[in-house]
Structure formats: structure tokens, C-alpha cells
Structure 1
Amino acid sequence: MLLLLVFLMVLPLFLLWKHRVNGGKLLPPGPPGLPLIGNLHQLERSATHRYLWHLSKQYGPLMFLRLGFEPILVVSSPRTAEVMKTHDPEFSSRPSLLALQKLSYNGLDLAFASYGTDTVTATMVWTMTALMKNPRVMKKAQKEVRTLVGEKCFVDEDDIQKLTYMKALVKEIMRLYPAAPLLIPRETLQKCNIDGYEIPSKTLVFVNAWAIGRDPESWENPEEFMPERFLGTCIDFKGQDYKLIPFGAGRRIWPGMNLGAVTVELALANLLYSFDWEMPAGMKMEDIDTDAKPGLTMTKKNDLYLVARNYI
């Protein structure tokens, strides 16, 4: 009897919730949620971008979720990411920080603070992590920069333009380790139609740049760290190639993109020119992990310790 009473009390709330969240619209597919909280319980993960990537394999590259009554659209493929161009006006708003507290730890995530400085630091850490795990690439990059610079003792911006392999290396890092794997979220200004689905206004939009960088239909051996894939190609991260969008695209592309990229290239080139890098005593290459901290900005969970020995 008690269970029947509880059911009768909850049923109207559930029906009201279903009507309010769907309203008869044809929404993109997505995991079923619970009444009132939606998919909130499913996002308790240390790496949200990775979890959403796994969900997209089941529900598709255009996926719909809800955090409570807040509608969420997750874009996970280069083709669907073109909404940043085809629906740029509708997708050009930024959400309030209040709406992002679940995923950005009360809005204090780096993506909403000093993006131009902290994300460069995070990118450098991921770069050195990848290079220590791939000594072949490290040696090739060092040979290029040391051959070009000679005994000048430092690398400047003019040198960077001649470092073809170094530029390919930075692109490969941004493919595999985008500083903001879900980019900086957008919010739809008005309802729109994508692939036959109706996207409500005030929908929070996450573009999973991390998943797009690992799309097997766009990249050969996507999990392999291989800068050579960019040699002899015109693929760039300036928002025109939707399979490589670490800074986003459209009118909401990160305005500090060029400065950030040059800063990473200069810092990396000088680190590789000036020092030979080794593991601390007792550590092996296999000991270096690639675990990330939770949050909208992807920073390494465990500190990276290396030994630098002067080259010159």
C-alpha cells in the first residue's frame, strides 16, 4: 500500500518532468536520465571528456543529455563540429558560470580564468610527457632545432617558421592533448535544427575536441603519437579543419590562439635545444602516466619529474 502511494505521488512529477524536458520535440539520441536530475548522476567521472566519448560510441556524434532541467548537446565528430560554422549565429552565446558548476567545479576551472597562461603550462607538461614516452620523436625534434640554430644558443620567432617538424609536433600534441578537451562551452541563442533534430534555445553545447582528435574516420592510428602525419599537409588548428579544433572555431574561437601557439612553439624549441632530458634515477619510461585531473581544462593528474642536462 505504501509503495502504491509513493508511486501515485511520484508519477505526476515524472510526467511533468517528461513533458517539460521533451515537449514533443525530436531531440538527438542520448542516455536515459532520471526524473528531475536528468543525467546528473552519470557525469561523476574523473575524465568527463573520455566518458562522453564512450557514450557517443553508443548514441552517436550528436548526443543529448540533461543536467537537471538544463539541456546539454555534446558534439563528438568533425562533421557534426561544423555546426560551429553552419550554425555559428545560433551557437555564439556563452553560458553563465552557474550552469557550469557541475563540470567546472563552481566555475573555478582554468578554462574560465587565465586561459592564455595556464593552458600553455598544461600543454607544455603534456608535450614533455609525450616526448619522454616517445624518445624517437624527441631525438628527431632536437636534431632539427639544433641543426638550424647552431651555436646561437637560443631559438627566436624567425627560427620557428623554419622548424617544420617542430610545428608538426605541436599540432600532434594539440590533437591528442587539447588543453580544453570540451572547449569552452557555448549556449544556443535560439532553437535550431541539426540533422533533423530540434535543438532547444538555451542549450549548453560541448564540442568534444578530445574525441574528435581521436576519430578513427579522420585519423590513421589515432592513438599513436606521430607528428609525421602533419608533414606535407595543410591541416591546421585555426578553425578551418574541423578534425583539429583545440581552440574551437567560428566567432567563438579563442582569440589568444596565435599567441598561445607561438608561446608553446618557442618554449618547446628552446627546451629541446638547450637541454637533454632524462628520467630520474629509478624511473622508467613506462612509469609515466597520462592520467588527467577532472575539470574542463585537462591538466596532468600526477606531476612529471624530469632531469635536465645542459646541451651547451
Structure 2
Amino acid sequence: MASLLLILSFIFLVLFLLKKSSTHSSASTKRLPPSPLKLPIIGNIHLAGSLPHRSFHSLSKRYGELMLLQFGSKPVVVASSANAAREIMKNQDQIFASRPRLSIPYRLCYSGRDVAFCAYGDQWRQNRSMCVLQMLNHKRVQSFRPIREEETSLMIEKMKRSSPAVVNLSKMFMDLANDVVCRAVLGRKYDGDDDGEKHFNQILKKIVVILQSYNVGDFVPWLGWINRVNGVEAEVENVFKMLDEFLECVLREYRMKKLSDDAVVNFVDALLQFQRESKDSDPVDDDQIKALILDMLAAGIDTTFTVLEWTMAELIRNPRTMKLLQTEVRNKNEININEDDVDNMPYLKAVSKESLRLHPPLPLAVPRELTQDTNLLGYDIPRGTVVLVNCWAISRDPLLWENPNEFLPERFFDTSIDYKGLHFEMIPFGAGRRGCPGIGFAMSLYELAISRLVNEFNFELPNGVREEDLDMTEAPGFAVHRKHPLLVVTTPRAT
């Protein structure tokens, strides 16, 4: 018996050593991207910092355009060049098109049944098709034009009534984006006038905050208990319950209405009609609809508000640029600028591009996950690797942009580079299959609001603060806002 145990032990030892030798040999033949030193257990998580796009940009100067980090047990590749982004988002787009399963977005988005965080596959294709057909195609975006123009006019009138007091432009932009998106998605505004509306706004704020929470268990599974102890897991469940109750109420109210085919005027209407029509062929359930509604609300409001806020900050900080834009807009001799006027404003278009170059709403594109082994720019990248594209670093690359940190809209007069995902020198909305499908919706409101504001008002900073001293500090988050609200004194232009 003892001899048998000895022989079995010897066999197991030989097999173990052979496997270890094989694994080591396999790993040694792979050419992996450069990597910083790792700490035990957590790897390189500590290097991300509070503003990962800036931290990774600094690291890329040492480790190069493709860098391998280790977040706990998960390999993470950070791409910081246009060439790398082109490979990931175009040349090898399909195998880089999936998403890692991150527990907090996964839970809030109904087990990943939305568009932004859904794994690549048939479910994602159906979800994206529904969003584009029912909300984000050109015809539908144009149908929301009266909403954009009406809500922008209401914002202008509100600012005129408060002039010349100090105006919180950040709050104005948040309210504008909230009102337009809610009317387009839900069919009504939720501006806080009653308890139900206040409750909705509280839910949205909680969602934005909780999505920025970090679950160490996603990368170090045996430390998953931490979020149960610190209360994050309970808060996620609480927010999800509030969200689900609200959306359930929305769907119930809409189903009680009697709508004719030509009465489809918002996203919820369209989704419910699509659900009825697809009942027998490719059924859509309520959780799928709720997840898509959440995507439209969270992404539509936050990104639009972010771009507006940074653009006005840059214009105020650069009086010469502000003056040139005001001259172009005011030469239209229009009291109320509309979207037809905006289409004929080349300097406004250049300002839009330059603002998105310097301040992409998502500095790090939503994480991707590689679905098969591949070679990327000469490096071997294994299946299951999380991939982060640093859009912020690419659009400030001095090899691509002259004076990359300066706000110079004129640079776009001599180039065809745009922000729609075809040019990898700047990809503020991503590119490829997982590029943002809502660019047209967001930019229609953005350009109308900026042109109306600079047409109607002159701006200065309160308390004698000089333009060049305006604080441009960023706040942490998926969508990077200003750390401090943009406060200005507005004066209606002389007519």
C-alpha cells in the first residue's frame, strides 16, 4: 500500500512539473506588452489613481503606446495611440467588441441587457438595433427638434430673468440635458416640481455615483466580500430597486394609454410598440426595455451636459475664440438661432471638434474584452484581456497634434478629421461596433445650445477673476466633469 502511494505521488509530481514547465515555456515564448512592476494580490490597481486617463497617459510615456497592467487576476491592456485604437476598433474590431462583466453595471443594467455594457452577440445586436431604429436614427433625431428648440429657449429666458446675477452654467446645462432627454425618452419632463419628479432625479444622481464605485471583487474575486462590508453592495441593490419600481410605473402608465400608430412620439412609446409587433418572431421582455431606457437616460444626459460645460469653460477662458464665434453667430442677424442656422456655422463646427478633442466625455472608452488570442502591434494578447483605449491621451498626442494642450479651433480648418469614429486621431465617442450610436442626438442639442448662448449673452467671471485663471480641474468619474461648477455673470447683448 505504501509503495502504491509512493508511486502515485511520484506520478502526480512529474505531471505537475511537466505542466508547470509547459506553462512557463509557453509564456516565455509570448511577446507581451511592457508592464510596470506589480504588487502582490492587487497587481497594478493602485496605479490607476483618481483620474485614470491622466495616470495611464503618464505611464504610457515610459511604457509605450501599448501597456500591460495587472488588475488583481485580470490582465488589462491600455492603448494610448491612434494606431493601437485603429487596430482595436477597426481592423480587429469584432474580437475586441465584447465587454467584461463588471458587477455594478451588470446589476443596474438588468444583467447586462442594455447596449453599453451588454456582451457582444445576438442580444447586443438586437438591443443596438432597437435603440437606433426607435430613437437615434436621423429621422427620429429630427423629430425631436421642436423639443430641443423649446427647451433651449426656456433656458435662455430663465438666464435673462436672472441677469445680471451670477449664473451656475453647470446646473443650467444639467437641467437642459435632463429636460430634453426626458421628454424624448419618457415623453415628459422631470424637473423636480413634485415628489415623483424629485424622486426620479435622486435615482439618476445615485446611479451616476454608484456606477463610479469600484468593486475590487471584479478583479480579485476572493476580496468580493469587501463591498458587502462597506455597504456598496447594499446600496447597489437599493438603487436598483428604486430604479426598477420607477421604470415599472412608467411602463404601466404607457400601457394604460390607447395609442394609434401615428402617436409614437418618444422612446418608451416606440419600444412598447416594437415589443407588441415582435411578440411572435423575436420577443422583447420588459427588463430589456427598462435597460435600454436607462441607457438613453444615463448616457444622454451625462455626456451632453459634460460637453456643454467644458466648451463654455474653454470659450470663457479664451476670449479671442469667444469673440470669433460670437461674430459668426451674430452675423446671422437672427433673434432665435435654429438648427438650420447652425448647419452653416463653420467656426462653431471647429469649436465643437476642438472641445471634444481636449475634453472627450469618456476619456477612457468603455472597457472591451478580447474574445480570442491575437497579435496587436507585434505583441501577443491573450483571450479574456480587458482593453482600455485612452481617448484623452490620443487626442493630446504631440505626434498627431501641434500644441496639443491649447484650445485652437482653427486647427480644424485644414483637416478632414472629425469626431464620428472614422478618424482615430480623436475618438471622443469611440468607434467601430461599440462606438456611441447617439452622436447625432447629443450634438444637435449641444450645437444649438452653444450658438444660442453666445448669440444672446456676453460672459465674464464673477469677483473679478481673470479668464486665464479659470479653474479647469477635473472631477473623477466615467464622464469627467469639472470639479467645480462653472459660475459666470451673463449680460444680454445690446440690440
- TM-score normalised to the size of structure 2? 0.56
Task: Choose from 89, 92, 98 the match for 1:87.
Answer: 92
Task: Choose from 221, 225, 236 the match for 2:407.
Answer: 225
Q: C-alpha distance in 2, partners of 1:188/1:134?
A: 42
Q: Deviations over 1:92-130 (max 9, x none)?
A: 11222238899932489x999711111111111111111
1:71 deviation in Å?
Answer: 1.2
Q: Give the equivalent residue in structure 2 for 1:131.
A: 315
Q: Give the equivalent residue in structure 1 for 2:371.
A: 189
Q: Deviations over 1:288-311 (max 9, x none)?
A: 111111122111111110011112
1:194 deviation in Å?
Answer: 0.8
Q: Give the equivalent residue in structure 1 for 2:475.
A: 293
Q: C-alpha distance in 1, partners of 2:211/2:374?
A: 25
| Change beyond 3 A, Cα 1:111–1:286 | farther
Three-state SS of the structure 1 residue aligned to 2:311 is: helix
Q: C-alpha distance in 1, partners of 2:460/2:418?
A: 31
Between structure 1 and structure 2, the one with the greater Rg is 2
Task: Choose from 32, 40, 46 the match for 1:41.
Answer: 46
Three-state SS of the structure 2 residue aligned to 1:82 is: helix
Contact 2:66–2:84 (8 Å) recurs in 1: yes
1:26 deviation in Å?
Answer: 2.2
Q: Is 1:237 the equivalent of 2:345?
A: no
Task: Choose from 71, 82, 96 the match for 1:67.
Answer: 71
Aligned counterparts, 1:150-299, within 5 A = 150=333, 152-299=334-481
Q: Deviations over 1:59-100 (max 9, x none)?
A: 001111011011111110111111210110111112222388
* Counterpart AA for 2:213: Y
Q: Give the equivalent residue in structure 1 for 2:200.
A: none
Q: Is 1:26 the equivalent of 2:26?
A: no
Contact 1:88–1:250 (8 Å) recurs in 2: yes
| Change beyond 3 A, Cα 1:73–1:112 | farther
* Counterpart AA for 1:26: R
Q: C-alpha distance in 2, partners of 1:206/1:168?
A: 28
Q: C-alpha distance in 2, partners of 1:280/1:147?
A: 28
| Change beyond 3 A, Cα 1:257–1:206 | same
Q: C-alpha distance in 2, partners of 1:184/1:245?
A: 12
| Change beyond 3 A, Cα 1:26–1:184 | same
Matched pairs, number: 290
Three-state SS of the structure 1 residue aligned to 2:464 is: coil
Q: Percent identity?
A: 44
Q: C-alpha distance in 2, partners of 1:73/1:104?
A: 20
Q: C-alpha distance in 2, partners of 1:282/1:199?
A: 54
Structure 1 residue ranges without an equivalent (≥5): 1-15
| Higher mean C-alpha displacement, 279-288 vs 91-100 | 91-100
Q: Deviations over 1:112-156 (max 9, x none)?
A: 9711111111111111111111000000001000102x0x31221
Q: Deviations over 1:136-191 (max 9, x none)?
A: 0000001000102x0x3122111111100000000000000001000112111222
Three-state SS of the structure 1 residue aligned to 2:388 is: strand
Q: Give the equivalent residue in structure 2 for 1:52.
A: 56
